[in-house]
Every structure is written in C-alpha cells, then in structure tokens.
A and B are shown apart, each in its own frame.
Chain A
C-alpha cells in the first residue's frame, strides 16, 4: 500500500518538475545505493539512469578511514589501496557500459576527529589521483575537502591556497571543477564550525583561486549535514555563497552525531529538526541550478535489505520534491505573463510574496461567487476566459489539486501550465 503511495507521489513530483522545466540535477551518492555491482541493471535500485545521475563517494570503495589508517596496520592488515582502486575502476566501467551518468565525485576525507597531522601531502596526492580517475568519465565536479589538521587558524588560507592551486591546475586541464565543502571542527567531541563553514571566507577563497586560475575552476558543495551539526542556517549560507554553490549534499543529521539520513525523517513533537524550508528559500534566491547529491545511506542501511527496494521510491520523491521547490521561483520568473488559478489561501500567499515582482494578469477560479471580486487588487474571473489567453501566457495552479486542475486547463486549451506551492514561503508550513 505504502509503496503505491510513494510511487504515485514520485510520478507526480517528476511531472511537476518537468512542467516547470527546472534545471536542478538530481544525483544519488553511491552511499545511497545498495548493490553497486548491479548499477546498470537493478530494477529495484534508487537509480533511474534516464532521469538521474550518480555521485561517486570514494569512501564507498575505500572505506571511511582510508586516510586515517594510511601507513598504519588496521585490524592486523595494511589497507589495500590497489584493491580499492580496482573496485572503483570496475564500477566506473560498469557505469559507462550501462550509460549511467557520473555527475560528481567526493574524494576521500580526513575524519573531523583525526589526530593525524601528517597527512596533508597524502591528501594532495589523493586529490590528484581522484581528478585523474574522473578524467574522461564525463564527471563535472569533484568535491575535495580542504586541509585543516595540524594547521593553525592563521595559516589555513596559505596552506589551502598552495593545496588547491596545485589541484586546480590539474582540474583545469581535465575540465573538472573542484568543489570545496564546509567542514566541522572537533573540540573533544563537540562539533563546531570548521574550515569553509564561514560563507564569506569560503567565497573569498573561491573567488581568489578562480581569479588566479583565469577560469571557473572552483566552486562550492554545501553539506547540509555539516551545516546541521554546526547549527547553521542553511538558507543564509546558501544565499551568501550565491552562484558559487554548484552542488548540495543533501543529508540529515540528528544535530549531534554525523549521519546521512533522508530529509524530513527527523521530526518530533516540537517540529522538524532540520529547517529544509530555509535551504529551499536560500537556493531559490541564488537561482541554483546545480546538483542535488542525495545521501540517505544511513536511512537505507537502517532497513532490512528486503525492505530497501521500497525505500528507494521515497528517496526519489524527496529529491524530486526538493528540486521542484528550489526551482519554483525561477520557473515563475521564466514565464513572461501569467494568470493564477485558484483564489484561495495559496493565491494570497503568492500575492504576498510574488505579487509585486511577478504580478498576474488576473486570477481565475471555479467558484462563481468569487467572479468579479478582487484579491489583492487583482480581479477574479471565470475559467472560460482562459480560452483566450495572450501569447506566451502561463496559468499557474494555486491550489493543491494540481492534476485535476491541469486536466481542466488542458480541456480549455491551455498549453503552458505551472504549479505553485506555498509550503516553503516565509512563515509557511509548521
């Protein structure tokens, strides 16, 4: 029963974002995919290769502690990096063979609680190897963690400047963009804002490096999990970084420990633990058209492998929902003229937030009692008048009966139909 609901929603969400022509791309982290060996053929996978891309998280292949245990015997064995590299290469070959689009890669990362201060050269080397591995795969972005361990605050820029400059030269040659990512800093178990967590500083770094590179070689990947752990307002951070944000790592943490859970799953009697509305608003402001990297690995692992195929549609639906919400303002903007359908609360919300910027020609509603009345100074007219809309005019559905209303509009000959939602507007939802 629940599967049917989720599948229906997924289809609905896809239809909505398609209608809007949203340009945000969805990709799934390899951590969110069970059964990577069947990447191109598993009908129960999260991935619909025609609609979505994939983001390779190197840790899927080499483990979470590959850097941490470098040169150290772990469990009596030295970590076999060659075997990990071979697994990775085989996966890339499989993706290619199966026409799975590789959107981005996340290079191995040093743990925030690391005690190792001798690994910065190794990180540089690893970064170079990852860029090299991505070359020719169609992968557009590589997320490379900034250096932090063993570096005094005053030296962070200098050390990272050297590091990213070296990586940037190689990335430019291979046509790949390097994305920095916001980090946490561990103070004896407590996580606070680390390197690149200050949007203003991160923006300065990116701009400086791009200026020196003479091209847009650097950008930003906003890790919503790190934001949550550092108690940051994700929307404000996204807005401050602006167009530098090329990817958003979408994952929910409980706020205390690092985790990769599906958005909206952290809810209690006091409300939603993570303010996803704020993220949506922030990304809307910037006109975000990059990649949403869905990492719900821990949610997935929490379920029995027998149930996981039923979790995938929900992950997809959440991704589509976020994509739809983020792209909404941009799509409203793209219609030269518009009419709103529905004169209720959602219409009022539209008028409050967008009425001045994107005013409708008029409002249409099925209720004859409203015809001729005014809503925020705009006249309400019967649906029949929609038969004679001016060239390029779209009808924006301002009620939640999207599909029923769309059918009615099509029957009236309306070809450009958009949908509006007031869920993520200021003060909306909750």
Chain B
C-alpha cells in the first residue's frame, strides 16, 4: 500500500562513518525512505555535561564537508532522504567554563547549520537551554534560548532551514519533570512571532513522544495546539520513568497488558492536524539492545510500525 507519509529513523547505531552506504542500504531494504541524521553523536552530550569536548567540530568547514561527503552520496544513491538532523546538545552547559559554552554557541551551532545545508536537509532539531531553575522562570529560560536561536536565524533563512525546538525534560533528584518547550501554547506563540519577524519559517517544532510520555503531556491536545508548526517527530517509547528510546507499544503497566503510552492520542492528533511530513523514529537504543545479527529485522519491525501509523494518520 502506498502512503503519503514517509517513514524515517535516526542514523545513530545504523550508519557508520567507515561505510555509510551499507547503513543507507540497510535502511532502504527495511522500508525507510527518510533518515534523521544524528549529528549529535559527533559531540557526545555525556562529555559536555562533564565539561569535556572532543575536537570534531574544530575542523574547518571544508574538511567537515569532505568528511560527510560519503554520507551525502550514500543517501543520494539509495534514495533515502535526510529529512531532519539533530544538532549536538546541550547548547549551553550550566556551570561549565565559558570556553565550552562559547564553543557550543560560536562553533558547533553555526557549523551544524552549515552541515545541515550541505545535506540539503530542511529541518534541524535544537534543544532549548535548561535554565529555569537558575533564572527563576520558564520565560527567562526561553529568553536565553531565543537569543541563541536568533544568532542562527539569519543562517537558517539563507539556507532554507527550519530550526525545530523540541519538548525536553529536566530533572529534580531522580525525578523527571517538564523542561523547555513543554507548553504547546507558548511554543506556538513564540514560533509565530519569530517567523513573522523573519518572513520565513525559521522556527518550527519537533514533537518527541518519549519525552511527552515522561512529562505527562496530553499528546493529542499538544499536537493540535501546535498544528502546522509541527514539522518533525521523534517517535519512541518508554516506561514513563526513564528516557529509554524504545520501540512503540513495548511498555505496559497495567494488568490489562495494554500499552501505557497514549499512541491513540498521538495518532488522533496527527490525523486532526493533517500531518503530512515524516514519521521519524528515534530508537537507537533498541538497535544496540538487540543482537547485531537481528538489526535488519528490528529495523524492519520499526518501519512496519511506521507504516501502520501512516495508515492510521492518513485514514
């Protein structure tokens, strides 16, 4: 059955830098037509939180482009479109030396935009700053994020890229709580304001189902509030406690053994806003959890869920 909606998945744990064509071919065979390029995996967040960084983005732009040329070619050859990309995160590390945060702002972020343009990728996912606790309010936190986005907006406009802010979480002790961009109403207002100012869609939204589940969001209401501002998806599942990035429908917490994630609400929301973009999964840990020899089957299974979703959304 042909679907209007495309299905994609992240490149992490699938596409290697040594032989990118192998990974893209695997995606194609599994049924994917799109790929979410995991640029974030080139600057691990775990190191950044410890105030360390590697030197990957120190390379001049022409070297970075040369590095990614095989990836671009492989995507073109296989016909798997890089429809979205994840900028390394965090973009600001509270308490880190000034040099780290300046590097993220002035080197990593602009080069990420250039790489996104190099792939002719229309969407790049950007995390907001987690500063509500330090600054005292969500608005003050957003102001800092907006300042950061504005520093990139001219590049976004020039390259026809839409930066997509994502609903993310923060933590209090061992307890996950809502973080930046978990208020759809505020997000919609802010997106409209910035886009009106720049005259093009420099800003959009990435709805992350796993984070929404963790932060107790109402999927359907959230998606409907966003409407056409919703450009990109991160589809994955968890137990409602940890950010596990697992395959949809794999968690149940009641005696009825039914899914504890509101996938019906998710699909209803997408259907109501007539979502027409890519159903993109972000399930890298599921791929590393299964034995390597099962990777193709696991990828195929995730793609099948994607096409089931497509059927439900298209109606």
Contact = CB atoms under 8 A, between A and B. Distances in A.
Interface of A: 113, 153, 184-185, 187-193, 197-198, 200, 228-233, 235-236, 239, 254-256, 266-268, 270-275, 277-278, 281, 353, 425-427
Given A267-B173, A275-B172, A188 B218 contact: no
Contacts of B4: none
B10 interface: no
A428 to B, nearest CB: 9
Given A188-B252, A190-B253, A231-B177, A236 B172 contact: no
B221 A233 contact: no
A188 B256 contact: yes
A232 B178 contact: yes
B213 A153 contact: no
Contacts of B169: 231
Contacts of B253: 188-190
Interface residues of B, number: 38
Contacts of B241: 255-256
A192 B217 contact: yes
Nearest to A232: B178
B78 interface: no
A267 B213 CA distance: 23
B200 interface: no
A274 B133 CA distance: 13
Contacts of B174: 255, 268, 270, 273
Interface stretch (B149-157, B228-236, B259-267, B301-309): B259-267
Contact of B215 (A231, A256, A271): A231
Given A229-B216, A274-B173, 14 more contacts: A187-B262, A188-B252, A190-B253, A231-B176, A231-B177, A231-B215, A232-B215, A236-B138, A270-B173, A271-B173, A273-B172, A274-B172, A274-B175, A426-B137
A266 B173 CA distance: 9
B136 interface: yes
Contact of B173 (A190, A235, A273): A273
A162 B172 CA distance: 39
A278 B178 CA distance: 12
Nearest to A187: B262
Interface in B202-251: 213-218, 220-221, 240-241
A266 B175 contact: yes
A188 B136 contact: no
A266 B174 CA distance: 9
11 contacts: A185-B218, A188-B254, A230-B216, A256-B241, A272-B173, A273-B172, A273-B174, A273-B175, A278-B133, A426-B133, A427-B136
B260 A272 contact: no
Contacts of A254: 175
Among B138, B173, B262, find the residue whose CB has the most chain A CB atoms closer than 10 A: B173
B134 interface: yes
Interface of B: 132-138, 140, 169, 171-178, 183, 185, 213-218, 220-221, 240-241, 252-254, 256, 258-262
A275 B177 contact: yes
A231 B211 CA distance: 11
Contacts of B172: 271-275
B173 A188 contact: no
* Max chain B Cβ within 10 angstroms of own Cβ: one of A187, A229, A270, A427: A187
A193 B218 contact: yes
Contacts of A425: 136
Contacts of B216: 184, 191-193, 197, 229-232
- Residue from B136, B172, B215 whose CB has the most chain A CB atoms within 10 Å: B172
Contacts of B132: 233, 236, 278
Given A232-B216, A236-B138, A189 B173 contact: no
Contact of A188 (B134, B135, B215, B258): B258
Contacts of A191: 216, 240
A268 B221 contact: no
Given A187-B261, A236-B137, A231 B214 contact: yes
A275 to B, nearest CB: 4
A225 to B, nearest CB: 12
A223 to B, nearest CB: 13
Contact of B136 (A193, A230, A231, A426): A426
A233 B173 contact: no
A430 B140 CA distance: 20
Contact of A192 (B136, B140, B258, B262): B262
For A184, A189, A255, A273, the residue with the greatest tally of chain B CB atoms inside 10 Å of its CB is A189
A275 B138 CA distance: 14
Contacts of B252: 188-189
A193 to B, nearest CB: 5
Q: Which 3 A-B pairs have the closest CB atoms?
A: A189-B253, A426-B136, A230-B216
Nearest to B134: A427
Contacts of A268: 173-174
B240 A190 contact: yes
A80 B122 CA distance: 65
Nearest to B258: A188
B304 to A, nearest CB: 22
Contacts of B177: 231-233, 275
Contacts of B217: 192-193
B248 to A, nearest CB: 13
A153 B225 CA distance: 14
A104 B221 CA distance: 32
Contacts of A274: 172-173, 175
Contacts of B175: 228, 231, 254-255, 266, 273-274
A388 B190 CA distance: 52
Nearest to B253: A189
Contacts of A353: 136
Nearest to B263: A187
A267 B100 CA distance: 31
Contacts of A426: 133-137, 140
Interface centre among B132, B137, B169, B175 (most CB of A within 10 A): B175
A351 to B, nearest CB: 15
Nearest to B179: A233
B256 A233 contact: no
Contacts of A190: 213, 240, 253, 260-261
Contacts of B260: 187-190
Nearest to A256: B241
A188 B256 CA distance: 7
A328 to B, nearest CB: 14
Contact of B171 (A185, A187, A270): A270
A273 B218 CA distance: 22
Contacts of B218: 185, 192-193, 197-198
